[in-house]
Amino acid sequence: MLQTSALAIGFKEGRDGVSTISQGLNLRLNPNELVCLVGPNGVGKSTLLRTLIGLQKPLSGEIRLLGQSLKQFTATQLAKSVSVVLTNPVSAGAMRVGELVALGRYPFTGLFDVLTRNDLDVVDQSLEIVGAMPLKNRYIDELSDGEKQRVMVARALAQEPHLLVLDEPTAFLDLPGRVSMLSLLKELAHKQKKAVLTSTHDLDLALHTADRIWLMNRNGEISEGSPEDLVLNGQFGKTFNQSNVTFNANTGSFNLGRPPHRSIELHASGINLIWTKRALQRAGYEVQPAGSGNEFIVEVDDSTRPVIWRLRYHGKSSEHTSIYSMLLSLESDI
Amino acid sequence: MEKKPTAAELLGNNLPQQRDRLSAIRVFALLLVGLAVLFVVSISLGSVRIPLADVIKILFGQPAARDTWTSIVLNFRLTKALTAMLVGAALSVSGLQMQTLFRNPLADPFILGINSGAALGVALTILTIGATGAYLLAGLGTFGDLSLAIAASMGAGLVLGMILLVGRRIKNPTTLLILGLMFGHATGAVVSLLIYFSIPERIQAYTIWSYGSFAGVTWSQMRVMLPVILLGLLIAVFLPKSLNALLLGEEYARTLGLNIARTRFWVLLSASILAGTATAFCGPIGFLGVAIPHVSRNLFKTSDHKWLLPAVALLGAGAALVADAIAQLPGSQYVLPINVITSLFGAPFVLWVVFKKKRGATSFTV
């Protein structure tokens, strides 16, 4: 679908100055595949996306789309092959959702923009696919951020693209909105046979959803592979680790704060074990299983109602009915 | 496969939009009728009382009760009403194009300094050219002199040329705005300087020009103004599709296959021809250009330029006729400057429209 060879991206500065963001990129996008582009802020993800969709010229190297060099595409041909969802806000309040999506037919209509039956059908199908058909007659400024983003995806689909490129489509959405946006993108890749490339800061979601990940580090190098490959070969940790954030390869999530500085023994089972362990880890403890011989012990007694957290150390013992109070006591005594 | 849908199919696409379209068509019909009525009313108003029946007779080429009436209606009032409609439509269309091109609700036809250029031309003519000064002053009562229009056209044309030339190289439309603004300030300074060293009579003549008037256009001037404004409107007819795409912002528009540079050229050309011609013949008439697009968006509840273009043209023509009628102070011998009327009566009206219906206010959220 799309291939780059020895692609260099960046900006031309002044007369002959060049600031290169990334070079030697040999990337590939396939149909039926959702690729998430992730990386720390400011590494040039947007520049890469903008270059791939022709909004910005590459410094050197080549981009081939559908077997043809990107340079050979006319603007209209390109618009019929690639469509985008950008971070730019769309500010036309007196426009209805249906009209906005119909703008996606721009490359197909004539000088006076008369929509054919086919154009109208494509608009409806696009709205249907993203589940925004009920919104068709609403005005854009009445929509929530999540609805607006879906409509923007529908607008992009109305261009009937082979490749759909999105720049941080989840940025302003709440958690359920993020999840449903990414699963929508996955559906577009797998059911509509599109190649979908999206940049995102939701690493957790990307790890769970993406078919492939492009991981861009601070030097502009891109490692690619399935999410699991990148976790196992340590690229994920290397790219994102900072002084106060560490990537936990066991859980696939990021741990905040300092590494554990004390240890504690936890006697519990089931769901109480899971959440008490999380709480202790959050407070900076390394949690050990029962029988480790640690002098600090937390026991969870779930035979009673309410559940009791019992704290034992130095021969003293205290009982708590919540994790919160147990942690407070632990902090104040040590 | 690509067969055109019938009108019924288009209308029947879904119900609420069908209602929208029908009500839009109804509003358009109403606007046309209203415009015709305003046109006749405007012609029947003036310092000389002419009965409506005679006005209509004269318009249909029949003899009126008095020959002087025929002359007044055909040579003065008819040209004035036509001028008002043309200029009102021209400024409103130009304002709509500028607001969309710059995605700025405050943009108006003069935002790039077209009026400053015209003002400079006129100021140079009135304030410095002594030889024709006396003649100018004599003719200024009715703005009968074509030399003012020529001077203003040259000034406006100069600015237009500069904008088109520079606009090709400038990527960011905001830069273009700043350029226009700075040019306006510089020209304003030159005009101030000319005024400072001029004599009171000439200053007054310049001030009168700057108030704007529809009354100065004669049939011979109309022969120049009409085709040029029609040319500007003709270009505008081909632009709604591109302007709609621009509502998404320039980057989205580019990914839709829109050629930004070419679109900008034609929009600027059309808008500048319209605003420049209007200013050249009638002085800098404010307010219509910024207000009418907002009123139209509210009235038709749409951002679609296919609807907005005819809407602003009709509304602009109507508003100019109303402003002119009020300026006549019916029943009195006085005629007020048109700019005073457009702003004094227009500003509260637009505020009312914007506050009453929220949508127009957010048709651009910049």
- Among B255, B257, B365, select the one facing A93 at the smallest CB separation: B365
**What is the identity of the amino acid at A53?**
I
Name residue, tokens 């009968």.
B144
Q: Mean of the pLDDT values across residues B345-366?
A: 63
Least-confidence region, from A142-146, B52-56, B205-209, B330-334? B330-334
Please name which of A190, A203, A292 lies closest in space to residue A239, comparing C-alpha atoms. Answer: A203
Chain centre to alpha carbon of residue B307:
18
pLDDT at A119: 94
pLDDT at B116: 87
To the nearest whole Å, the CA of A41 is away from the closest chain B CA by: 22
Structure tokens at B1: 């496969």
User: For residue B349, what pLDDT band results from cuts at 50, 70 and 90?
Assistant: confident
To the nearest whole Å, the CA of B344 is away from the closest chain A CA by: 27
- Among B5, B363, B365, select the one facing A120 at the smallest CB separation: B5
Asked if A121 has any chain B CB less than 8 Å from its own CB, the reply is no
Asked if A145 has any chain B CB less than 8 Å from its own CB, the reply is no
Structure tokens at B270: 């059309």
CB contact under 8 A, B256 and A82: no
pLDDT at B361: 44
pLDDT at B141: 43
- Among B14, B254, B366, select the one facing A136 at the smallest CB separation: B14
Residue B14 has pLDDT above 50, yes or no: no
To the nearest whole Å, the CA of A210 is away from the closest chain B CA by: 25
- Among A91, A103, A117, select the one facing B245 at the smallest CB separation: A103
pLDDT at A166: 96
pLDDT at B92: 96
CB contact under 8 A, B249 and A90: yes
Residue B175 has pLDDT above 50, yes or no: yes
pLDDT in tens, B212-259: 889 888 888 898 899 999 999 999 999 999 999 999 988 999 999 999
Name residue, tokens 């020895």.
A6
User: For residue B209, what pLDDT band results from cuts at 50, 70 and 90?
Assistant: confident
pLDDT at A222: 93
How many Å from the N-terminal Cα to the C-terminal Cα in chain B? Answer: 41
To the nearest whole Å, the CA of B270 is away from the closest chain A CA by: 17
CB contact under 8 A, A120 and B13: yes
Q: Bigger pLDDT: A56 or A245?
A: A56
pLDDT at B366: 31
Among chain A residues, CA nearest to B294:
A94
pLDDT in tens, A177-231: 899 999 999 999 999 999 999 999 988 899 999 999 999 988 889 999 999 998 8
Classify B141 in phi/psi space as left (phi over 0), alpha (psi -120 to 50) or beta.
Answer: alpha
CB contact under 8 A, A79 and B240: no
Residue B8 has pLDDT above 50, yes or no: no
Q: Mean of the pLDDT values across residues B281-305?
A: 88
DSSP 8-state secondary structure symbol assigned to residue A89:
P
CB contact under 8 A, A86 and B251: yes
- Rounded Cα distance between B308 and B96, Å, is 8
CB contact under 8 A, B365 and A89: yes
Which residues of chain B have a CB within 8 Å of the CB of A112? 240-241, 306
- Rounded Cα distance between B93 and B314, Å, is 10
Please name which of B84, B109, B108 lies closest in space to residue B317, comparing C-alpha atoms. Answer: B84
The values of phi and psi at residue A261, to 5°, are -115, -15
A-B interface: how many C-beta pairs under 8 angstroms? 125
The answer for residues whose C-beta is within 8 angstroms of residue A315's C-beta and 6 or more apart is none
Please name which of B24, B21, B41, B25 lies closest in space to residue B318, comparing C-alpha atoms. Answer: B41
ipTM (interface pTM): 0.82
Architecture of the B7-356 domain:
Orthogonal Bundle (1.10)
Helices B114-123, B200-211: inter-axial angle, 10-degree rounding: 150
Residue B341 has pLDDT above 80, yes or no: yes
Structure tokens at A291: 């029988």
Peptide bond into B284 cis (omega under 30): no
Instruction: Write the secondary structure of B110-179 as one string of H (helix), E (strand) and C (coil).
Output: CCCCHHHHHHHHHHHHHHHCCCCHHHHHHHCCCCCCHHHHHHHHHHHHHHHHHHHHHHHHCCCHHHHHHH
Q: What is the pTM of this model?
A: 0.84
Residue B139 has pLDDT above 60, yes or no: no
**What is the identity of the amino acid at B126?**
I
Q: Mean of the pLDDT values across residues A298-327?
A: 88
pLDDT at A330: 85
pLDDT at B181: 84
CB contact under 8 A, B248 and A92: yes
User: For residue B65, what pLDDT band results from cuts at 50, 70 and 90?
Assistant: confident
- Among B13, B257, B363, select the one facing A79 at the smallest CB separation: B257
Asked if A84 has any chain B CB less than 8 Å from its own CB, the reply is yes
CB contact under 8 A, A137 and B304: no
Among chain A residues, CA nearest to B99:
A92
Burial class (CB in 10 A: 0-12, 13-18, 19+), B312: buried
CB contact under 8 A, A137 and B252: no
Q: Mean of the pLDDT values across residues A290-300?
A: 86
- Rounded Cα distance between A257 and A53, Å, is 39
CB contact under 8 A, A107 and B249: no
Residue A253 has pLDDT above 80, yes or no: no
Asked if A138 has any chain B CB less than 8 Å from its own CB, the reply is no
Mean pLDDT over the full length of chain A: 89
CB contact under 8 A, A111 and B103: no
Q: Mean of the pLDDT values across residues A22-46?
A: 92
pLDDT at A73: 93
CB contact under 8 A, A86 and B13: no
Q: Mean of the pLDDT values across residues B48-58?
A: 85
The values of phi and psi at residue A106, to 5°, are -45, -50
pLDDT at B130: 52
User: For residue B15, what pLDDT band results from cuts at 50, 70 and 90?
Assistant: very low
DSSP 8-state secondary structure symbol assigned to residue A32:
T
User: For residue B356, what pLDDT band results from cuts at 50, 70 and 90?
Assistant: low
CA atoms within 13 A on the CB side of B13: 26
Mutate to test the interface with B, among A50, A52, A57, A103 (most CBs of B within 10 A): A103
To the nearest whole Å, the CA of B331 is away from the closest chain A CA by: 42
pLDDT in tens, A6-20: 999 998 877 778 889
Q: Bigger pLDDT: B21 or A103?
A: A103
Residue A50 has pLDDT above 60, yes or no: yes
Q: CA B361 → CA B111, B294, B354, B355, distances in Å?
A: 20, 8, 6, 8
pLDDT at B90: 96
Question: In percent, how much of chain A has pLDDT > 70?
Answer: 96
To the nearest whole Å, the CA of A33 is away from the closest chain B CA by: 22
pLDDT at B280: 86
Least-confidence region, from B10-14, B182-186, B187-191, B331-335? B10-14
Long-range contacts of B32-38 (CB under 8 A, 24+ apart): B32/B314, B34/B318, B35/B85, B35/B314, B35/B317, B35/B318, B35/B321, B38/B318, B38/B321, B38/B322, B38/B325
Residue B74 has pLDDT above 80, yes or no: yes
pLDDT at A42: 86
Residue A75 has pLDDT above 90, yes or no: yes
Least-confidence region, from A43-57, B97-111, B134-148? B134-148
User: For residue B112, what pLDDT band results from cuts at 50, 70 and 90?
Assistant: confident
CB contact under 8 A, B245 and A139: no
